[in-house]
Amino acid sequence: MRIRWDGSGANGWRPFFTRSFAHPGLSSVQPEELVYRHSDKATAVELQERLEKLLRDKLMEWRPHRPTRWNRYCTSALKHFLPSLEQGASGPGGNAGRDLAEGHRHELQNLLGDNRISGFPLHMAFSEMGPVVEAVHSTGVHTIQTANVEFALAVYVHPYPNNVLSVWVYLASLVRA
């Protein structure tokens, strides 16, 4: 409670180097200027396609005794929605994310009609393929045993400077009601 977070006043600071403890003359190990490289958008698109193919193959592999049918209509809707999720996640806070999710839920319900949809988006920073596959597997969406189930999978990779990649995976199961 006694900490003052206002660092603008000079009386709240004490110099590190004084007459009794002089500056030893060492240079800083920090670079004078930080250089940010632009990320290659084509590489992000290529990674997005590779991830989507890998996750589709894995989902079918995890369901060895069941057919895995894909709902292209729902997949298209999810692909359309993922960039707006990234924009909402990196934008200002508040109710924007909740409003976005509510609007998305209504849009999907209108598009898919009688289907009962169950799924959610996953968001993570990309380092390698393994953690993304593990995150999708841990959702357990592939374990549904209903005979008339269909799946939708969408992947979006957003590049940031210095090759920082934001990965979104939206996996859903649809069952005709």
Ordered by start, the domain boundaries in the chain are 41-176
Burial of 78 per CB tally in 10 Å (0-12, 13-18, 19+): buried
Asked if 107 and 154 touch (Cβ cutoff 8 Å), the reply is no
Q: What percent of the chain has pLDDT over 90?
A: 42
CATH for the stretch 41-176: 3.40.33
**Structure-block tokens of residue 86:** 């990234």
- Quick: pLDDT tens for 87-143: 876 665 555 556 666 667 777 777 777 778 888 899 999 999 999 999 999 999 998
